Structure 1
Amino acid sequence: MMWQDLVFMLGSGLSIVFLAPTLRDASARVPLGTSLPSMGIGFVYATTFFTLGMNFSAMGSLAAGTMWSLIALIRSPNGIGISLRLARMESPVLFARDLTRWIGSYRASSPGVNQYVTFDGGREQQYRQTAENAAD
């Protein structure tokens, strides 16, 4: 075992110890903007450490990522309802449909720029409308 593996595992263990009170506190509210990126980082670190052969560090990062997952699920400001709505089966289906439509748009013969509408009036049109609205 490398000493670095032990250091990273202890660091992840400490983060779990420090996060436990947040999970136990019923009044704690952690925004999803904080918990979801931290969860993702924990899982990415776990995968990276595992591929480097640092199994203890990988287990510690996996545990920290799991702790952040629980915090996101239970302690988000909108409660467990919004967290469960994020994980429902409809979301991956919608994502797959959007991805298919997006890939199909690149395969189409017409360029994607045609889907946007341009406004040729410029600032003069905007000022004219503002002046007309002010006169009314």
Structure 2
Amino acid sequence: MMWQDLVFLAGSVLSIVFLAPTVRDSAARIPLGSSVPSMTIGAVYSFTYATMGMTFSALGAAGVAIMWSLIVCYRAPCAGTGPTNIVRFLVESIGRGRQFVTGARGDEHVSSATEQVAD
């Protein structure tokens, strides 16, 4: 075992401890623009650490990804809960990307796409 594995594990454990109050607070509302990328990065780090043979780091990063996924599913500012929030984030991101490329305002497109995901 490498000492770096334990250092990364310690950082992940601290992240989990700091995220726990957000998961427990039913009034917390974390934007999907923050939580979905953080969840994804945690999962990518976990996979990367695992392929490097850093088992403890991989488990710690997986724990962080799980905490962020709980925040995505249950602490988003939208009415829906669960994994549909990930789909909602992707649909909204695609809509914003189209707006950026075309230069159109397109607020109606993003809202209607979000409403379709909610149904």
Decide: shared fold, TM above 0.5: yes
Structure 1 residues 6 and 24: alpha-carbon distance in aligned structure 2, compared to 1, 3 A threshold = same
Provide the rounded CA distance (Å) in 2 between the counterparts of 1:23 and 1:69.
Answer: 10
Provide the rounded CA distance (Å) in 2 between the counterparts of 1:48 and 1:85.
Answer: 25
2:13–2:60 contact (8 Å) kept in structure 1: yes
Structure 1 residues 26 and 47: alpha-carbon distance in aligned structure 2, compared to 1, 3 A threshold = same
Structure 1 residues 54 and 62: alpha-carbon distance in aligned structure 2, compared to 1, 3 A threshold = same
Aligned pairs for 1:33-72 within 5 A: 33-72=33-72
- The one-letter amino acid of 1:19's match is L
Q: Which has the higher contact order (CA 8 A, sep 6+)?
A: 2
Provide the rounded CA distance (Å) in 2 between the counterparts of 1:50 and 1:78.
Answer: 34
RMSD of aligned alpha carbons: 2.0
Give the TM-score normalised by structure 2.
0.69
Count residues in correspondence: 89
Give the TM-score normalised by structure 1.
0.60
CA apart distance, 1:81: 3.8
Structure 1 residues 14 and 79: alpha-carbon distance in aligned structure 2, compared to 1, 3 A threshold = farther
- The one-letter amino acid of 2:29's match is R
Moved over 2 A (4+): 79-87
- The one-letter amino acid of 1:24's match is R
Residue in 1 aligned with 2:74?
74
Structure 1 residues 53 and 83: alpha-carbon distance in aligned structure 2, compared to 1, 3 A threshold = closer
Deviations 1:100-132 (A, max 9, x none): xxxxxxxxxxxxxxxxxxxxxxxxxxxxxxxxx
**Higher Cα Rg: structure 1 or 2?**
1
Identity, % of aligned positions: 56
1:76–1:83 contact (8 Å) kept in structure 2: no
